[in-house]
A and B are shown apart, each in its own frame.
Chain A
Amino acid sequence: MKTKITLLTILALFCLLPFVSSAQVNVSGRVTDERNEPLPGVSVKVKGTSSGTVTAVDGQYSLPNVLSTSTIVFSYLGYVSFEARAATTLNVTLTEDFARLDEVVVTGLATNVKRSNLANAVSTVSAKELVGTTNPQTVDAALSGKVPGANITSNSGAPGGGFSVRLRGVTSVNGNTQPLYVVDGVFIDNSAISPGLNAVTAAAAGGNPSNQDNATNRIADLNPDDIENIEILKGASAAAIYGALASSGVVIITTKKGVAGKTKVNFRQDFGQASISRKIGIRTFTEQRVIDTYGASAVPLFNQANGTIYNYEDELYGNKGFLTTSNLSLSGGDEKTKFFVSGLYGDEEGIIKSTGYQKSSVRANIDHRISNAFNFSLTTNYINSETDRGLTNNDNAGVTYGIALSSTPSFINLYPDANGLYPNNPFAASNPLQTRDLATNNEKTNRFIGGLTLNAFLQQSSASVTKLVFRGGADYYNLKSTAIFPRLLQFQSGGNGTDGASIQGNTNNLNLNFSAFAVNTANAFNNTATFNTTLGTTLENFDQETILNVASVLTGSQTNVSQAAALKAFQTQIPRKNRGLFFQEEANFDDKLILTGGLRLDKSSDNADVSEYQLFPKASAAINVSNFGFWNISAISQFKIRAAYGESGNFPPFGSKFTDLVQSNIGGSGGVLITTQQGNDNIRQERQKEFETGLDVSILQGKVAFEGSYYQKSASNLIFANNVPTSSGFSTQIINGGTLRNRGVELSLNVRAFDRPGFQWLSQTTFWTNKSVVTQLDVPAFNLGGFGNTLGTFRIEEGKVATAIYGTDDGEVKVLGNAEPKFQMNFNNDFTVAKNLTFAFQLHWKYKYDNINLTELLTDLGGTSPDYDGDDDNDGVNNATERVNLLGVSARPFVQDATYLRIREVGLFYNLPGSLLKSTFNNAVSAIRVGFSGNNLYTFTKYKSYDPEVSNFGGSGFSTGVEVTPFPQSKRLFFHLSIEL
């Protein structure tokens, strides 16, 4: 503590000293933590230059030939940075940065700022928060509950994920409400590409690829263990610099970098098990019930079972999936070159037999300093993944597992006979066991993500540094989807279906992005002010092409699409080009007042006018009141008031401006038919304007940190598919025509409740709420998502809550629920006992929101609901009949409260003591950690289906929360072992 005060005095003196040129000195010393333990790997840099070094294992460092007037900056992740004037001997103690004041946050395209100076509530999720407690299914799964302001929904429980992420409410109604993902500067693709199952399920009419196919969204390809941290820019005020791509927020993922020094080898092995998190149950049958539901003709089938109960819920969803993840990483390097190399192999079995997910990933990140003037960093990642996702969700042909199950009573035997032949299911269009065992729904991905950043320092002095930054990124993947429905299947034989179907899709996606920036950092006013100027240009080319072949009338058991009597092909090309220019100025007045202003100009091939630039401005201010001289409350180390405003855009969906003719053939002749979407010659970007203000307070040296934000964002020129009168021949037209406003509050409180050597307790509580209102609409109210008024639907109506669920009730259509939670809370706790034993858990509470549960309706209609025969209201009419009688009269039974409290993550870990490792492995092993963890361990909810998190329509648009016989969610239990060399 004493040293610190001295150093602070020196620093303060330094700030007041006039600028004079002076001699060079050799600086050296030792860096330790508060317990006087040496800190290896601390970055030691001369402020404003690129020259620097890192501390060795014993915390020692040396920096030769430094100007005696320079400032030396010591920084280390998770610790408060420290600055001191150059001196021959400089021993430094770093304190832990629990309040994360010193965390560096990327705010520009080429610049960053300390969190304590930030004017926005940028959420950062560290590696520890992401994967420290348990093994998450995917990156987006790992964010669940951890980001205030985010509403993350798992669309289904299928291996390989499938998530919808909405930041600060719904921002657009056109479908693209998912944020932009940027990994190490590469704009990566997060499409969910339909495998074309619709050809068999007929879930959407017209045989088009549909969004009801339960596809993986491609962010799942990333290895969560490679990630150093994730920053989430939740709205335009923070993300304006990403311009027209940033309307739904930006998720900036930074992967791990090597640290100079001894090469670290880290090996982690997880073994686990997935099992269904909640079952619905099955109905108990009696002869009378069979007669009532299926008619007297079903009685012989009931008697045939002779009392045997076939529990198909257990059979289908009861698999105990084996999970294994192996992760090996190496990192190290020297002052010039640093590397991080990792490899992952993961194999996950689903809770439905024959479903699963395998992923192999290799990463190599290299940072190299060519000279003081040039350095570059290269990130490369190859991923090979494969997933078998089964056949779930809605369909109109009775073929998905769930739809078949909903009308299959427990007395019918569907198991194969001695010859392996499956009986036809007399109660449904398919035998779900046969479908599960014989059909295939597989996706294979090969993906390469690479990014290169080159920094060229044009000029460096203690007063000014100017650099050019060139960045290029490429994200390429090939996705091969294979869906095979052999003609043996009940729904493909005997005149049903198409006598077999082989649906093979091939998608190539290439995202290229290039950018060039000039960044100048200038110190002025005796180094009390810093000006950071960025000027740059960006270029993005996104190309996606999908060719889907649907072969039917298969020859025998052949699956090759050429071995079929009928073949249909669909090709979809989505080329998009965006160009941008931007300018940003950040001014920091002695960490007291931080002002930022920026402009971005964007144009895109998706706009009707391809050469018109759209302007997106931003401005923000942060005042660190506690840094002013008059502040004398020593207990409050930070008191910051901040406000930010920004604008961003959202491109119209591809093809909005075109009126197409599409293929429509008959009798072997080719024909053209007008498409259902009317082109719009005036379509342009929608514009989001966000204002955010907040207060950050840090008390008792960061023991208690509070962050509160309020925001209002409104999307104007709202892009949506307007339902035009279909008598025009069109059904929709993409138009700009409304304003959608989101208002919300985000609060977070971090408390270091106990901090003794023997016991530590860190607790983080976050609370957030959002409300979306359609404030203006140029067209009459319209429905979107869901299955119409009878079954519950979303509706965009002026002056009404945008996420409200409408349905028929009492002869009119009215609001029956809201898909947006009243609020969400997350409660994270971390206990460390005797340095080596840690226990952590995460509780996530989504309060008051509704789903449209159509699974229950289908089981009611199919006579299989577990509470079918109960009579909850004692009126003499059983539950199912009562609910079914409301069909067509009221959608109320389907709109159900989905409030839940979930024990999302629990982890218990033990680090083997250093002394034991030393004696056993003779210093060869530096750490061994063992532990147990669980994911989605238990959910408290009254929702009457598998899981309150569900989405039949995937992550697109408004329609999350609609449930039609989904892939049930699972809970996952793990054993972990990690070894560090």
Chain B
Amino acid sequence: MKLFKTNIKIASLAFVACLVLQLSGCKIDESINPNNPSLEGALTNATVDDLNNLVVGTEASMRNGLGTYLDDVGAVGREIYRFSGSEPRFTSDLLGAGNAVLDNNTFYTTTPWAARYRTIKNANILISSAGNTGLLTDAQRQAYLGFANTIKAYQLLLVLNLSNENGIRVEVDDPNNIGPVVAKDAALTAIATLLETGFNQLNGAGTVFPFQLSAGFSGFDDPSGFKMFNRALAARVAVYRGQFTEALTFLAGSFLNINGNFNTGVYHVFSGATGDQLNPIFLPLNATGEVRVAQPNFLSDALAAGNASDDRLNKIALRNAPATQSGLTGTHDLAIYQGNTDPITIIRNEELILIYAEAKIRSGASGFADALTAINRIRTAHGLAVYSGLLTEAALTNEMLLQRRYSLFMEGHRWVDMRRYNRLIELPIDRAGDDVWVSFPIPFSENVQ
């Protein structure tokens, strides 16, 4: 019995000792993440500095996944072949080789979708933060909102360009309660509305932005400039919706200048600086392994039409040796970028001129003369003779699409253009059994199947 008592005594002593040790060294403080700033910090009473970081992050992130997006649109639209030593699906799935189909859980579907919505999320955070802080003037707040909504609209448009008939989600602000997938037409309407909202906000944003945009927005980095960018996007959306009168109205507010520099516009810029990105499309000429070569018809169609003098053929360059993969051969490299810090177009004057032409062509015969002016401006500036074909809507539409093909080569338009004119059937099939896809699937993770 005595033994038991001793044991109990010792045990209790030990227990107390343990407890003391435990309590003294055991408190764990609520930790903060040592690696990154937190979202909560940005959402409450954000300063101009905090908001500006979000603006820069939003602009920078528009480039995430851009390479995959352009490869998708370029390959499906038969502008280029994308060869890769380690990634066979560029030539199988994207081109519909044999029985291959587009998968809803593979990078070419998921990467661009996720990247665009991530930018949208960042823009939404900017919108919430700007709304929650008392540290801004009203003009400043409108500037942030106008910027955010314009970017959101553009990002949604890119998502829709891929998923097309399958639709997109528009209401995505609350991650725990995201909105439904809306059909294509409703999605385009929502995008147009967002641009309108942004435009109105920019109208109340004063004369200077409280934030700084990169050199890619040079000339468009104050409220009046940014409004022109907003209107240019609105014009693109309007022609996608077949609203040609509206398109002309929007163009009037944009930076359209028929006789101006084709390259005036808004760009993604790149650098090797820390946290920055390099041009994802650039590959050196004559590269092996990772290759982007022009689909052969880009050159052969131009030559067949007697357009050898077209300076836009400089967008491709003859390789020392042809590149071959999976039964496809390309003799010319994509050469629109000379280095890995060359900018990539968001929207530029040359497209606006062609949108102008399109809107005029589609507004009835009264617009043909204006359309012809625009078309000839493009043609002559690129070393071609003036247009000599029929002055009918059909003929002029053909001509407009042809000019868009060469002027906007690998800027993400060919596939979308042929699709909206129901002409995907005209795109070349390079191997028996290949397919030209109409829409990318909605990613698997959206759980819409």
Q: Contact residues of A with B, CB < 8 Å?
A: 205-206, 294-295, 297-298, 394-398, 403-404, 406-407, 424-430, 458-459, 461, 463-464, 466, 468, 491, 494-496, 498, 514, 516-518, 520, 522, 533, 535-537, 539, 552-553, 565-569, 571-573, 575, 577, 579, 581, 603-605, 610-611, 655, 658-676, 678-679, 723-731, 780, 782-783, 788-790, 793, 808, 857-858, 861-862, 884-885, 887-889, 964
Residue of A nearest to B39 (CB): A659
Give the chain A neighbours of B289 by CB distance below 8 A.
397-398, 404, 407, 427-430, 491
What distance in Å separates the Cβ of A707 from its nearest Cβ neighbour in chain B? 35
Contact A808 B42 (CB under 8 A): no
Q: A604-B28, A658-B38 are in contact. Are A667 and B321 (CB under 8 A)?
A: no
- A495, A565, A661, A790: the one within 8 Å of B340 (CB): A495
Give the chain B neighbours of A575 by CB distance below 8 A.
31, 34
Give the chain B neighbours of A567 by CB distance below 8 A.
274
Contact B212 A669 (CB under 8 A): yes
Q: Mark B7-24, 1 if CB is under 8 A from A, else 0.
A: 100110111011101100
- B60, B120, B122, B283: the one within 8 Å of A665 (CB): B60
Contact B53 A885 (CB under 8 A): no
Residue of A nearest to B170 (CB): A727
Contact B85 A666 (CB under 8 A): no
- A205, A604, A780, A808: the one within 8 Å of B447 (CB): A780
Give the chain A neighbours of B17 by CB distance below 8 A.
468, 516, 518
Compute how far the CA of A205 lies from the CA of B69 in the bound complex, rounded to whole angstroms: 14
Contact A671 B56 (CB under 8 A): yes
**Taking chain A's interface residues, is the majority helix, strand, or loop, or is none over half, making it mixed?**
mixed
Contact A669 B214 (CB under 8 A): yes
Compute how far the CA of A862 lies from the CA of B321 in the bound complex, rounded to whole angstroms: 17
State which residues 277-307 of B face A: CB under 8 Å.
Answer: 277-278, 282-285, 287-290
Residue of A nearest to B30 (CB): A610
Residue of B nearest to A666 (CB): B60
Known: A572-B35, A664-B61. 7 other contacts (CB 8 A): A571-B35, A663-B57, A679-B39, A725-B445, A726-B110, A789-B105, A790-B92
What distance in Å separates the Cβ of A724 from its nearest Cβ neighbour in chain B? 7
Contact B21 A516 (CB under 8 A): yes
What distance in Å separates the Cβ of B12 from its nearest Cβ neighbour in chain A? 10
Contact A535 B340 (CB under 8 A): no
Contact B85 A665 (CB under 8 A): no
Q: A297-B321, A407-B85, A674-B122 are in contact. Are A665 and B21 (CB under 8 A)?
A: no
Contact B28 A674 (CB under 8 A): no
Counting chain B CB atoms within 10 Å of each CB, the highest count among A403, A729, A782, A790 belongs to A729
Q: A782-B445, A788-B107 are in contact. Are A398 and B322 (CB under 8 A)?
A: no
Counting chain B CB atoms within 10 Å of each CB, the highest count among A430, A468, A658 belongs to A658
Compute how far the CA of A295 lies from the CA of B324 in the bound complex, rounded to whole angstroms: 7
Asked if B364 lies at the interface with its beta carbon under 8 angstroms from chain A, I say no
Q: A496-B287, A808-B103 are in contact. Are A666 and B117 (CB under 8 A)?
A: no
Residue of B nearest to A662 (CB): B36
What distance in Å separates the Cβ of B309 from its nearest Cβ neighbour in chain A? 28
Contact A660 B10 (CB under 8 A): no
Residue of A nearest to B289 (CB): A429
Residue of B nearest to A490 (CB): B288
Q: State which of B94-102, B310-318, B406-414 sits at the interface with chain A.
A: B94-102
Contact A665 B339 (CB under 8 A): no
Q: Mark B153-173, 1 if CB is under 8 A from A, else 0.
A: 000000000000000110010
Q: State which of B265-273, B365-373, B392-400 sits at the interface with chain A.
A: B265-273
Give the chain B neighbours of A659 by CB distance below 8 A.
38-40
Give the chain A neighbours of B114 by CB distance below 8 A.
676, 726, 731
State which residues 16-65 of B face A: CB under 8 Å.
Answer: 17-19, 21-22, 25-31, 33-40, 42, 52-61, 63-64
Compute how far the CA of A516 lies from the CA of B168 in the bound complex, rounded to whole angstroms: 59
Compute how far the CA of A533 lies from the CA of B79 in the bound complex, rounded to whole angstroms: 76
Contact B18 A726 (CB under 8 A): no
Give the chain A neighbours of B15 by CB distance below 8 A.
518, 535
Compute how far the CA of A662 lies from the CA of B212 in the bound complex, rounded to whole angstroms: 19
Contact B329 A295 (CB under 8 A): yes
- 5 A-B interface contacts by CB (under 8 A): A539-B25, A566-B273, A658-B36, A667-B214, A671-B56
Give the chain A neighbours of B120 by CB distance below 8 A.
729
The 8 lowest CB-CB distance pairs between A and B, nearest first, are A729-B121, A888-B100, A429-B289, A671-B56, A518-B14, A667-B214, A495-B284, A398-B289
Residue of B nearest to A725 (CB): B446
- A406, A466, A539: the one within 8 Å of B26 (CB): A539
Contact B322 A425 (CB under 8 A): no
What distance in Å separates the Cβ of B192 from its nearest Cβ neighbour in chain A? 19
Give the chain B neighbours of A552 by CB distance below 8 A.
272
Contact B42 A661 (CB under 8 A): yes
Contact B38 A660 (CB under 8 A): yes
Compute how far the CA of A429 lies from the CA of B292 in the bound complex, rounded to whole angstroms: 13
Contact A675 B106 (CB under 8 A): no
Q: Mark B72-93, 1 if CB is under 8 A from A, else 0.
A: 0000000000001111110011
Q: A537-B18, A724-B445, A726-B443 are in contact. Are A458 and B10 (CB under 8 A)?
A: yes
Contact A665 B322 (CB under 8 A): no
Contact A518 B18 (CB under 8 A): yes
Contact B57 A661 (CB under 8 A): yes
Contact A889 B445 (CB under 8 A): no
Contact B273 A660 (CB under 8 A): no
Residue of A nearest to B19 (CB): A537
Residue of B nearest to A407 (CB): B85
Asked if B275 lies at the interface with its beta carbon under 8 angstroms from chain A, I say yes
Compute how far the CA of A495 lies from the CA of B321 in the bound complex, rounded to whole angstroms: 18
State which residues 191-210 of B face A: CB under 8 Å.
Answer: none
Compute how far the CA of A572 lies from the CA of B35 in the bound complex, rounded to whole angstroms: 6
Q: A603-B28, A610-B30 are in contact. Are A727 and B58 (CB under 8 A)?
A: no
Give the chain A neighbours of B53 by CB distance below 8 A.
661, 670-672
Contact B284 A494 (CB under 8 A): yes
Give the chain A neighbours of B59 by CB distance below 8 A.
666, 671
Contact A297 B322 (CB under 8 A): yes
Give the chain A neighbours of B325 by CB distance below 8 A.
861
Contact A671 B445 (CB under 8 A): no
Give the chain B neighbours of A789 by CB distance below 8 A.
103, 105-106
What distance in Å separates the Cβ of A248 from its nearest Cβ neighbour in chain B? 23
- A297, A398, A728, A780: the one within 8 Å of B84 (CB): A398
Asked if B118 lies at the interface with its beta carbon under 8 angstroms from chain A, I say yes
Contact B106 A788 (CB under 8 A): yes
Contact A673 B58 (CB under 8 A): yes
Asked if B113 lies at the interface with its beta carbon under 8 angstroms from chain A, I say yes
Compute how far the CA of A888 lies from the CA of B87 in the bound complex, rounded to whole angstroms: 12
What distance in Å separates the Cβ of A401 from its nearest Cβ neighbour in chain B? 12
- A571, A674, A676: the one within 8 Å of B125 (CB): A674
Compute how far the CA of A498 lies from the CA of B111 in the bound complex, rounded to whole angstroms: 23
Compute how far the CA of A664 lies from the CA of B178 in the bound complex, rounded to whole angstroms: 25
Residue of B nearest to A402 (CB): B86
What distance in Å separates the Cβ of B396 from its nearest Cβ neighbour in chain A? 39
Compute how far the CA of A783 lies from the CA of B445 in the bound complex, rounded to whole angstroms: 9
What distance in Å separates the Cβ of A519 from its nearest Cβ neighbour in chain B? 9
Contact A605 B57 (CB under 8 A): no
Give the chain A neighbours of B119 by CB distance below 8 A.
673
Contact B56 A664 (CB under 8 A): yes
Residue of A nearest to B448 (CB): A725
Give the chain B neighbours of A539 by CB distance below 8 A.
25-26
Asked if B216 lies at the interface with its beta carbon under 8 angstroms from chain A, I say yes
Compute how far the CA of A650 lies from the CA of B434 in the bound complex, rounded to whole angstroms: 49
Asked if B326 lies at the interface with its beta carbon under 8 angstroms from chain A, I say yes
Give the chain B neighbours of A862 by CB distance below 8 A.
85
Contact B85 A428 (CB under 8 A): yes
Contact A670 B275 (CB under 8 A): yes
Asked if B421 lies at the interface with its beta carbon under 8 angstroms from chain A, I say no
Residue of A nearest to B29 (CB): A610
Q: A535-B15, A726-B443, A726-B446 are in contact. Are A663 and B86 (CB under 8 A)?
A: no
What distance in Å separates the Cβ of B266 from its nearest Cβ neighbour in chain A? 13
What distance in Å separates the Cβ of A631 from its nearest Cβ neighbour in chain B? 32
Compute how far the CA of A575 lies from the CA of B35 in the bound complex, rounded to whole angstroms: 10
